[in-house]
Amino acid sequence: MVEFPRLFPRRLRPGDTVAVVAPSGPVDPARLERGKEVLKGLGLDVIVGSRVLGRERFLAGPDSARVVDLQAAWCDPAVSAVICARGGYGATRLLEPLDWDAMRAAGPKILLGSSDITALHRAFARELGVATLFGPMPACSLLGAPEGPEPETLSRLRAALFEGGSAGPIRGDRVLVPGRAEGPVGGGNLSLLAALCGTPYGFRADGHIVLLEDVGEQPYRIDRMLTQLLQAGSLDGAAGFALGSWVGCGDPDDVLAVLTDRLAPLGVPIVAGLPVGHGSPQFSLWMEADGVIDTQSCSMTGLFRDPEGAP
């Protein structure tokens, strides 16, 4: 496998403290409370950032407040994981004002989130060199639903978060290009990867297995964003592609045709239909951890390395 300098946080143990913050869009209080109870049901002590329920237009409060909550949680030695309440929009606005020196000095811990949190996954990889967890969030429908969390989503989250957990392969439903690929997992939400092009946090495939997923984007927009990434060289050197869910993106056959047209010419293994992203269930996947695509079983496996000598 391609080797990259990566730090792996200690995974959680029952009784650990986790902090919920809102770096992106406004949070629904009822969903947040239900999601908090789900996390407590996993045996965790849950604290909520003081600014989580803020609101300013389409954001969960002003940038300064969201930065303070995120940075304070990351730098608090009592906190073992920072969990983003939801996505939406706004994480990209925090990348410059964050004090990366202070966060680097705090050492690695778990960051959990998906969708708009792709911006933080990319920035944490670049600035901190730390593996992060792409997965469900407490104020979203799969964890914070009135009827309770979606069972497989919760099971996979538990296996990813806690020491000793091993979720096994994530199976897709379509092979676009056959083969086997190994490499660190990168990428995330397609819209965010396109938005980060030309910034210091832009994605470069360079030996990665590239996860791509999105929600509410029509096929022509998916084509446009993939074309942007291709023309920017962002996908050069990709080891393979793991394609997740494309909820509300129009005719699934049209989406698949676009993905095949733009990605298959790269000649690397591609598995589609993985339950990662915005669909249900939503499996958790460690970013910057080693991954394997095996098209014979139409699956992807993530291989998290628990740090040696973790306290």
Give Cβ neighbours of residue 226 (< 8 Å, ≥ 6 apart): 190, 258, 259, 262, 263
**Residue 121 CB burial class (10 angstroms; 0-12, 13-18, ≥19):** buried
Among 154, 193, 159, smallest CA distance to 280 is for 154
Q: How far apart are CA 118 and CA 232, in angstroms?
A: 18
Pairing of strands 170-171, 174-177: unpaired
Q: How far apart are CA 58 and CA 151, in angstroms?
A: 30
Give Cβ neighbours of residue 201 (< 8 Å, ≥ 6 apart): 95, 119, 122, 123, 126
Active site residues per annotation:
115, 213, 278
- Report the chain's terminal Cα–Cα distance, integer Å: 28
